Structure 1
Amino acid sequence: MTKLSVNINKIATLRNARGGDVPSVTQVAIDAQKFGSQGITIHPRPDERHITRKDVYDLKPLVTTEYNIEGNPHRPFIDMVLDVKPEQVTLVPDADDAITSNAGWDCQKHQDFLKSVIAEFKNAGIRTSIFLDPNPEMVKYAASTGTDRIELYTEAYARNYAANKEEAIKDYVATAKEAEKYGLGINAGHDLSLENLKYFADNIPNLLEVSIGHALISEALYLGLENTIQAYRKRLAKW
């Protein structure tokens, strides 16, 4: 079964645009879980342009499913995650000024750094996942870091899905199969949507979790949050 984790960054973006606490990040997290989300994902950035440090701590007692904190593992991020102790931390090599995540790790180049960071998290009992491009050759280096899972960066799949979905998913399937050989769990995220999710989930072996935010929140403007979460759950269902 592939779990759905709802990324609520965009709720924080909307709140911060006006100030105050509307919409409430914490209430949306509570409601999303009530509506069927099997996890809550956040990606706090140093400038706090959406999720703030306060949000990270406020959400901890409210997430009763799975708390997944994403981010670039600078020291302040590492210390915060170790303090909060979510179920999962996802390491993403995004620049501080990046609009959104835009690349996976070069696990060969950053091998020693990732090993050190991942060891800290695992010693604290936190499951680790690292953001990875669809490149089977990178999997062996990812496995050498000691990570529990990889998260496939799915922007390229989403961008090319409409033109040729078979070609768009090919490298992702190959990467997932290679990850299976090393005993790595597989997550995925970035630009997955109601349109392209089912084909992806049906074809990626051992897909444990998808983290979806921008598309899901955008679709919820028309469908409502509960209906949208349920629609995503149906796309992930195995019959």
Structure 2
Amino acid sequence: MSTLRLSGDLWMGDAPLIRNLALEFPAARWSCLLGRSGVGKSTLARLIAGLPGPYRLEGELAGNGRALAGHVAMMAQDAQLLPWADCVQNVTIGARLRGARPDLARARALLAQVGLAGLEGRRPAALSGGQRQRVALARVLMEDCPIVVLDEPFSALDTVTRLAMQDLAAKLLQGRCVILITHDPLEAIRLSDHAYLLGPLGAESLALPASPTPRDFTAPETLAAQAQLLARLHSLGPVLCAG
């Protein structure tokens, strides 16, 4: 599946949420969606991931003219782990829900890849916030989908852990079409190849530094782009609808 395209109007019930969307998410690149709280970022994330809700798109959402079912994995802000299941069981939940035999060896290998070797038998309550997000990342990798939606996946983490998780995700999700929803300007600047600022009337394409991702958070061009984006976000008025 190549470039993912989304166009049209996003509705929440009987009310328009975002009009005149025209978004392109290239394959093997990170694309970011930003905007004020309530503009509809998470609603778009759920729409792309195929999750049910009181929203609809009057338009088109497809990759290379094909439907997305079975091609999208999602990682949310809350790791959404099963509290009664250990790490391996959480990573392989997709296969079990489909009635397939889980590949336990691959699940353990992925947990080792995200730095959780030796913790495979632990349940979520025995893990730190960063460790739970690593389990969620391993679960996304287990699904091996070409499109990955990240809906503010690191926002609950402390700054140092957050930067480490950004670097790890950038490394392990190479070659996939990644759509990142975030409210953090630095996260957007560090990770994105393409970025859009969402508003009720559509999406504005944002300029990003030419340096490769993940960008050095101490680099002058990264800090300058972060400041410009923060000023742009600060200039926007409040959004009253949920999304």
Class of the TM-score when normalised by the shorter of the 2 chains: 0.3 to 0.5
Q: Is the radius of gyration larger for structure 1 or structure 2?
A: 2
Structure number with higher helix proportion? 1
TM-score (normalizing by structure 2)? 0.41
